[in-house]
Amino acid sequence: MQIIDGKQISAQIKQEIAAEVEKIIAAGGKRPHLAGVLVGHDGGSESYMSSKVKACEQCGFKSSLIRFEEDVTEQQLLDTIDKLNHDSDVDGFIVQLPLPRHINEQRVIEAIDYRKDVDGFHPINVGRLSIGLPCFRSATPSGIMMLLERYGIETRGKHCVVIGRSNIVGKPIASLLMQKSTPGNCTVTVCHSATPNIADYTRQADILIAALGKPGFVTADMVKDGAVVIDVGTTRVQDDTRKSGWRLCGDVDFDHVAPRCSFITPVPGGVGPMTIVSLMHNTLLAATRQIYSL
């Protein structure tokens, strides 16, 4: 059994990105610039956003953070997006989700210029991903693909079972893994909350991707010997032994599942760090206009 070290791979990719940025600067180019919009003070969103700002520094990017209180109006957000869309110094930007309930999230996502949508949430990027065209891939599926590639994990002809059908993980990772590419060429099954007897499917998985957000859901009896297990779960559970009062918990019962696997991602330190690095990768693609010209 090999533990997939997302922390190490993400550090390596950040170094590669930083080296690219130095080349751009040495050639007289502009430093890539990622902007982020953060509404309110949700603990998870605050911590994601500060990790993204830190990753920008490590990659040599410029970053800027625009903050609003919970009572921001949808129009104020749309006006901010319009400014960012037209700001020629900003290569890409994200609006951290979730947004307060009085704001229509989909309207906000669709207001972002798809050419600056480094989160890959705009329907143009989602649609292009699903038909295999160059696009900004949403960060978590893109990070999983990078891990499979860097660890040389064979995917062709394998049965991949995805648990979870979210727009930002389950659906796009299913699309990517069924595409005629490497990694890819899998036979994909997607299970979700209305699937009866999920274990009947997961036991057939050569590659199992757990992205449902239920801590410890995947138990040892649900996994085939030698499977590759990718844990996308990042639920905060109470832990009074920690200073913060919580710890991150994956969707997989790691201690019991790991001995059965050929490869497994830990939580934390597996998929999580790759999600941030995928955003950095998309920002570099945006800054160098490798997908769309502006």
Catalytic residues: 52, 96, 119
* Residue 185 CB contacts under 8 Å (≥ 6 apart), including other chains: 155, 156, 157, 178, 179
Among candidate residues 195, 231, 189, 230, the one with its CA nearest the CA of residue 213: 231
The CB-of-252 to ligand GUN minimum distance in angstroms stands at 19
139 is a contact residue toward ligand GUN (CB under 6 A): yes
Contact segment (CB under 6 A) with ligand GUN among 72-80, 92-100, 148-156, 185-193 equals 92-100
The CB-of-240 to ligand GUN minimum distance in angstroms stands at 26
78 is a contact residue toward ligand GUN (CB under 6 A): no
The two structure tokens encoding residue 153: 């994990």
Task: Write b or e for each residue in 20-52: b if 16 or more Cβ atoms lie within 10 A of its Cβ, otherwise e.
Answer: bbeebeeeeeeebbbbbbbbbebeebeebbeeb
5 is a contact residue toward ligand GUN (CB under 6 A): no
Residue 96 or 283: which CB sits closer to ligand GUN?
Answer: 96
Among 3, 78, 97, 220, binds ligand GUN (CB under 6 A): 97
Task: Find the residue with minimal CB distance to ligand GUN.
Answer: 97
Judged by CB under 6 A, the chain residues 102 through 121 that form the site for ligand GUN are 119
* Residue 277 CB contacts under 8 Å (≥ 6 apart), including other chains: 9, 10, 13, 14, 17, 55, 143, 146
**How many residues belong to the site for ligand GUN (CB under 6 A)?**
6
| 53: helix, strand or coil | helix
The CB-of-97 to ligand GUN minimum distance in angstroms stands at 4
* Residue 78 CB contacts under 8 Å (≥ 6 apart), including other chains: 107, 108, 111
Among 10, 63, 96, 175, binds ligand GUN (CB under 6 A): 96
Tell me which residues touch ligand GUN (CB under 6 A). 94-97, 119, 139
